[in-house]
Structure 1
Amino acid sequence: MTDKRVAIITGAASGLGLEMARQLASSHQLYLIDLDLPRLEQYCGEISANSRYFACDLASSQAIEQLIQDINALTPDIALLINNAGITHRSLAKITKQQVIEKVMRVDYFAPVQLTQGLLPLLIDAQTKVVNISSMAGWMPVIARAGYCAAKSALHQYFETFRAEMTPQGVKVLMVYPSFVDTPIEQNALSGSGGSTRHARSTVGKMRSSHWTVAQIVKAINRGDERLFPDKFTYFSSLLYRLWPSLYIRMMSKRFASEFEEH
């Protein structure tokens, strides 16, 4: 047993989720969620003896409903709900099958919304901060990631509105907009047919480590920030897109030229 407040982290078996578990373990009791329970227990077991593990396929609304019931039954004092889990694809829109778009949308948008809504009474009681790992792709188009951009745009709009509605009730929201981070989300990107993408990804700006990115997120949580743009280069790219979209599109098309190949 512990008197520490709870931090719920989805996608905790790797990447940003695993690193957040490491950096929050000393200050929070961890509720760690991932589809891969053995990997979750293997990598997170050494982090904290007070962790609880939940296996959940966030592409399934039924599985999320069961997860919500299991967490509600524990009546935890939730300090942080970190909606981190996500998937992406790297494929041109014209060759990306509908089921790929739907899966990306389910994991990256519908799952955070469903989990947050299902835990909302607990979140209000605990005055929780909801942390959503979005992406700069939610602010500007990125070639070969139309479905991912759409999901992150929806996440952005929903939780910006959610914040405005819930602030009077004490529920806060931090939206995080990283760019290119060295995590398995890109290594496991879907192809247009739903398999694994094998071609190298195109990037702009500096590739950031999970450790560096999570350190910025934890600082933003402690400061009480509402939005975090860890990579200033891509933040200014998003401003360029709004101020001079035709120039942004030309520059992106040149930088991401290899993505026009039908992999």
Structure 2
Amino acid sequence: MRVVLITGAASGLGWQLARACHARGDALLLTDIDSQGLAARVDTLGAERVLGVPGDITDPALHEQLLEACRQRFGRLDVLFNNAGITHRSPTVRTAPAVFRKVMAVDYHAPLELTLAALPLLRESRGQVAAIGSMAGWMPVLGRAGYCAAKSALSQAFEVLRAEIGLDGIGLLLVYPSFLDTPIDRNALGADGQPARHARSTIGNVRSAEWMAEAILVALRQRRERLFPDRGSWLASLLWRLAPALYYRQMSRRFAGELR
């Protein structure tokens, strides 16, 4: 029986990953800052092979608590899903520095630090790490400077990390989704750190979290290194590299509402 740790597991993609992993027989260690939502999810799945540990993923003490709980309850760790995330929708020049720091802490520092702390357990199982990046880490998107920066940092760090931990037999999958129907966008921060008050702009298809979870599990079974599930966004990232002026014109029209 595989043991899976999922961050941000109370809703969205994290919850769909939990459901899919539980259905295939995995034992789950779930965490989320939403303690009530997490408890409800554990109740839904049943506590026989599911443990919930609530907390702030940016807190190193939570990382220690999670890994100790994993050792004590399950004795191993096979897959770490770095799923927890946060975004903002606000013009860079009007965004409070605290918003940028929070996005970077959740989307970059936390997954890297948790992964490093989990390496001893993952070495024992020759396990796998999955990190949820974003196409925003590959190309600029108006109104999301902090999110683009955090996901770019995540991508670069984990691309380097893959080669290093691969020497220990640990696999690393980087997932680059485009727009998903999850609470991360509904809970986006505004310039002042309060919930954003305008609807998000999108390109391409808005995919379901369930669809994304299934694609991720297939990629893990295949021990792939990268997953680009949305062809349209992948092509847009190529346009940014090959014809950046054209990309900027199209993005500026599509995302004009982000400058309010």
- Among 1, 4, 7, which residue is 2:4 paired with? 7
Which residue does the alignment assign to 1:235?
234
- Among 33, 41, 53, which residue is 1:35 paired with? 33
Q: Is the CA contact (8 Å cut-off) linking 2:8 and 2:85 kept in structure 1? A: yes
Once residues 231 and 64 of structure 2 are traced to their aligned partners in structure 1, the CA distance between those partners, rounded to angstroms, is: 37
Indicate whether 1:164 and 2:163 are aligned: yes
Aligned-residue offset at 1:67: 3.3
How many pairs does the alignment contain?
A: 258
Deviations, residues 56-85 of structure 1 (Å, cap 9, x unaligned)? 201333433443444345563212100000
Q: Is the CA contact (8 Å cut-off) linking 1:91 and 1:144 kept in structure 2? A: yes
Return the letter of the residue paired with 2:79. L
Once residues 102 and 66 of structure 1 are traced to their aligned partners in structure 2, the CA distance between those partners, rounded to angstroms, is: 24
**Could you say what secondary structure the match of 2:181 adopts?**
coil
Unaligned runs of 5+ in 1: none
Which residue does the alignment assign to 1:149?
148
Which residue does the alignment assign to 1:106?
105
Once residues 189 and 230 of structure 1 are traced to their aligned partners in structure 2, the CA distance between those partners, rounded to angstroms, is: 22
**Could you say what secondary structure the match of 1:132 adopts?**
strand
Aligned-residue offset at 1:41: 1.8
Which residue does the alignment assign to 1:80?
79
Once residues 98 and 73 of structure 1 are traced to their aligned partners in structure 2, the CA distance between those partners, rounded to angstroms, is: 40
Once residues 58 and 78 of structure 2 are traced to their aligned partners in structure 1, the CA distance between those partners, rounded to angstroms, is: 25
Identity, % of aligned positions: 48
Q: Is the CA contact (8 Å cut-off) linking 1:31 and 1:51 kept in structure 2? A: yes
Return the letter of the residue paired with 1:181. L
Aligned CA RMSD, in angstroms, stands at 1.3
Return the letter of the residue paired with 1:215. E
Aligned-residue offset at 1:168: 1.6
TM-score (norm 1): 0.94
Once residues 222 and 258 of structure 1 are traced to their aligned partners in structure 2, the CA distance between those partners, rounded to angstroms, is: 40
Which residue does the alignment assign to 1:21?
18
Q: Is the CA contact (8 Å cut-off) linking 1:57 and 1:63 kept in structure 2? A: yes
Once residues 61 and 44 of structure 2 are traced to their aligned partners in structure 1, the CA distance between those partners, rounded to angstroms, is: 30
Which residue does the alignment assign to 1:214?
213
Which residue does the alignment assign to 2:92?
93
**Could you say what secondary structure the match of 1:82 adopts?**
strand
The 1:65–1:100 alpha-carbon spacing in structure 2 relative to 1, beyond 3 Å, is farther
Once residues 157 and 75 of structure 1 are traced to their aligned partners in structure 2, the CA distance between those partners, rounded to angstroms, is: 32
The 1:246–1:76 alpha-carbon spacing in structure 2 relative to 1, beyond 3 Å, is farther
Flag as ranges the 4+ runs of structure 1 deviating above 6 A.
none
Indicate whether 1:44 and 2:42 are aligned: yes
TM-score (norm 2): 0.95
Once residues 74 and 47 of structure 1 are traced to their aligned partners in structure 2, the CA distance between those partners, rounded to angstroms, is: 17
Once residues 27 and 65 of structure 1 are traced to their aligned partners in structure 2, the CA distance between those partners, rounded to angstroms, is: 25
**Could you say what secondary structure the match of 2:143 adopts?**
coil
Q: Is the CA contact (8 Å cut-off) linking 1:95 and 1:192 kept in structure 2? A: yes
Return the letter of the residue paired with 1:31. L
Indicate whether 1:193 and 2:189 are aligned: no
**Could you say what secondary structure the match of 1:55 adopts?**
coil
